Amino acid sequence: MKTKLFTISIAALALTMFAGDFGSVGLVIVDRKHDGEPLRTGVVYLGSPAERAGIKPNGFLISVDGTNVVSMSLTQSMSFVRGPIGTDVTLELADSTRSHTNKFTVTRQRTVFSGHGADMKVEFFDH
């Protein structure tokens, strides 16, 4: 059941990400593996603002712009990460042991996806 909900959440996220002039940081946030743990960072796209900021996969998402998102749903948390193109967002991520956190300030960019599967290409633009 959790896999099905995860798939639906990703589909909803993809639809909302392309609506309006919302920007992306080039980071996939994935759902919890276990109840009670924070969401995790997944894919960090090459050339993305997240990659340039030094964000790596498998970190735990603790806060977005100072708002604690540990107990929020994937959809709620992503609504804090998305925002107008050209604006900054600060992500606080914990390491795999959750004993140390780092803050990364990333500028949202227009993101264009083309192709699909192994041929998918992701590009980031300032406007």
Q: What are phi and psi of 117, to 5 degrees?
A: 60, -135
Please report, in tens digits, the pLDDT of each residue of the chain (127 residues total): 444 444 444 444 444 444 457 789 999 999 998 888 999 999 999 999 999 999 999 999 999 999 999 999 999 999 999 999 999 999 999 998 888 999 999 999 998 888 888 788 888 888 7
For residue 81, give the nearest of 62, 100, 99 by alpha carbon.
Answer: 62
Rounded Cα–Cα distance for residues 83 and 117 (Å): 26
Global pTM value: 0.79
58 neighbors 41 (Cβ within 8 angstroms): yes
Among 2, 41, 21, 6, smallest CA distance to 125 is for 21
- Please choose, from the candidates 68, 63, 58, the residue with its C-alpha nearest in 3D space to the C-alpha of residue 32: 58
